[in-house]
Structure 1
């Protein structure tokens, strides 16, 4: 649902922000405590509800599916998004002649020389770690559209789109991505760009130009690309073409982009992210597996345990906390699901309390295929589940042997074909070029590269093995 606000201008202390209606209309930055209040979504819970009828209590457990408990990363991401949004508007002051010249160049598809470009943010994490919840919660702190009527007693009519969130459809190619832009704009502004361009015979380059023009005209502040993993890179023309698509938005339209997706998707682009600049120049955040000794896990599990709608609630002890971690592996979605199902089981069975055996029982009965992935995490061997591999395996350089070890083990144990073999070779090239490697690691990586090149030259993606680990 689009949130619309009338422009209320806040005075700015920074000289570069002064006299810019697009910046002055952005609500003030929230303090840490106010941010928590703004994004937290706790179930409406009262101990008296434990005496309600069974069917009412069973239904009320659904509230856990909409629960948001902000973790420490929320503060960091909000601060970076806020700063990036403001910085993105600094060189787009609509009242300055230079901005008018730049906007004319964009609308006429004429290149105007400019030294400025917008930043980008990369947010990734395991499936179920709460990436979309994080983004949606933070975006709720901003109005999506700000309506301007006058500024400094002069008419200024403008609908400013503070953010545009695009969810990439499954198996998307570039045209589908372009149409998703138009659809998101239509939803925010009640326009008909989607109909206009979906029925046209315009080529991809013309659609991309239209995106630059329309986004610049509507003063789009930042673009969030969610479900990045749905891009079909091969059908879209390859990773370089996709990167150029996003680069053109940050360079030509000067709009910051926030890319959100799983590590399995983002690693496809890692060969082009060598310095990290194209991945997330303003920030990189990974929502990983929470550890059972970190404060975020303790905050989460203690809050969730409060929501027991059973008649005989138990106090959270170390055994129960250990069981919750063992079964959920620190994945927030799994923790919430486990507690919801445990409530349901305890109510429907008449046991009316949640024990370690209750938790194990619902885990075994209802978690289905999730159990295999969680078991892989538990054993520290999630290689067959790409969405569970930390993105640092693909993006980190430096002397850490963990990412290199993952890459070597992956190359030694998995079968790659076609484009997959080519992508792994790109990862190997990056590792050889950037990482501080031991002599043993170098030998293994060069051996893997040699085998890959042989297979690619033969036009085969046959199984290959790296050298033995030393």
Structure 2
């Protein structure tokens, strides 16, 4: 594909049309200009990024090696979640374009009619139209530090942001296609700020003057939304990514969700939301969004467990050691790295970098458990309360940090019920009720509770004669608000 430079200096790609084994994709220039559909091996190859590494660099002076170690921050090791997100992103873009074929007479008629209504200020976003959107939305919810935004950006870097068309199947087609755009949710959930950000970002990429053309000081949000829609149609916008969506938590949720639903319904623009676990209740409470996410793409990205996935990630970075003495990865080091990072990929990389810095500065020149512990003590002080909460497994402690809340795991029996064919549903449902009743009776008779059930504490208090209040303090359910010398008073 030939590169083209827009008048504003931005790089674009000349359209090259691919043939797909999917029939409906081969009549739409927006879809055919996208890269071929990638298999799993191709996805991994395209995402994998490794730092430059030469073994002889281990012999360089320490003053150089402490800089070289920072190359590890560029490393990107694909994991199963990355493949899942890749497929979600490209599926949303392709499917969103299906109903927006610029050579479809009905769609062109709808665009022209919508444009006239918007110019005449008679467009009603709540009115029903003949346009049947194929746009949907995706959701990537995960801990801070798991690489959500980095992953989306890495995936989108595999398709040109701007594609320039000239002719399609022998027909004149002078069109600039903006495949994707990423916006940041304003910290105050301001719709107007988001709208202004959209116009400015489009102008920055394409060198257009939409901001001056459409935006005025007194223009309301209700007036801006149709203008965003018509601009999206004119530039063939394929995907809108909304990052840091947890900022909607405090205000503007309902209005903002109306905003995005209108973009999908009336203008056919797919949306991907990226946020921390604090944003998950927003989508659970919005049926219209939850319905579109279900079946289209919902990636809940908790921290890694101490299993094969964690070991794969640790093995992928372990060979990049710039200490004089290479240290083999063993079970003891695996365990300490998991304990001190709790499977959060960003912390794993940072710990590995800082451990090498410590080994180089100390003159030990090798990775040991003691050096890992010293590194954590000196450099991970701010993260200690959060990691302690994760290590405890206590949901009450974890709940203090909204970005660390895990999504609830589905009940195994209920999952089995949903997986059964309809004719076996009643049988499975009866089994579920029987097991649930049996467990309820057992718990009632034996007073056995889960390890994190507060009733277990009360039961222990009754048996031992220890005051329940004291046991609740010892187990971390109550903060003892006593002042100790040296405590910071705010």
Distance 1:122 1:13, change over 3 A: same
Gaps of 5+ in 1: 402-435, 441-470
Aligned to 1:385: 401
CA contact (8 A) 2:283 2:289 kept: no
SS state at 1:276 partner:
helix
Equivalent residue in structure 1 for 2:178, among 136, 148, 161? 161
Deviation at 1:2, TM superposition (A): 6.3
Distance 1:281 1:166, change over 3 A: farther
Equivalent residue in structure 2 for 1:94, among 102, 107, 113? 102
- Paired with 1:246 and 1:344, the residues of 2 have a C-alpha distance of 46
Deviation at 1:392, TM superposition (A): 3.8
- 1:291 matched to 2:291? The reply is no
- Paired with 1:350 and 1:398, the residues of 2 have a C-alpha distance of 52
- Paired with 1:286 and 1:36, the residues of 2 have a C-alpha distance of 20
Deviation at 1:279, TM superposition (A): 4.2
- Paired with 1:245 and 1:274, the residues of 2 have a C-alpha distance of 12
Structure 1, 260-269 or 140-149: larger mean CA deviation: 260-269
- Paired with 1:291 and 1:204, the residues of 2 have a C-alpha distance of 44
Aligned to 1:444: none
Structure of greater Rg: 2
Deviation at 1:171, TM superposition (A): 2.8
Aligned to 1:268: 282
CA contact (8 A) 2:69 2:356 kept: yes
Task: With the length of structure 1 as denominator, give the TM-score of the two structures.
Answer: 0.80
The number of residues matched between the two structures is 401
Gaps of 5+ in 2: 1-8, 416-432, 441-490
- Paired with 2:334 and 2:411, the residues of 1 have a C-alpha distance of 35
Distance 1:336 1:347, change over 3 A: same
Deviation at 1:197, TM superposition (A): 5.4
After superposition, residues 20-419 of structure 1 pair within 5 angstroms as 20-107=28-115, 108-109=117-118, 110=123, 112-194=129-211, 199-231=216-248, 233-234=250-251, 236=252, 239-273=253-287, 276-293=290-307, 295-381=308-394, 382-392=398-408
- Paired with 2:136 and 2:13, the residues of 1 have a C-alpha distance of 26
- Paired with 1:173 and 1:389, the residues of 2 have a C-alpha distance of 26
CA contact (8 A) 2:182 2:243 kept: yes
Deviation at 1:231, TM superposition (A): 3.3
- Paired with 2:136 and 2:219, the residues of 1 have a C-alpha distance of 29
- Paired with 1:386 and 1:84, the residues of 2 have a C-alpha distance of 29
- Paired with 1:157 and 1:86, the residues of 2 have a C-alpha distance of 20
Aligned to 2:476: none
Task: With the length of structure 2 as denominator, give the TM-score of the two structures.
Answer: 0.77
Q: Residues 195-229 of structure 1: CA distance to partner in whole angstroms, max 9, x if unpaired?
A: 55565320010111111111111100111111112
- Name the Cα RMSD after superposition: 2.5
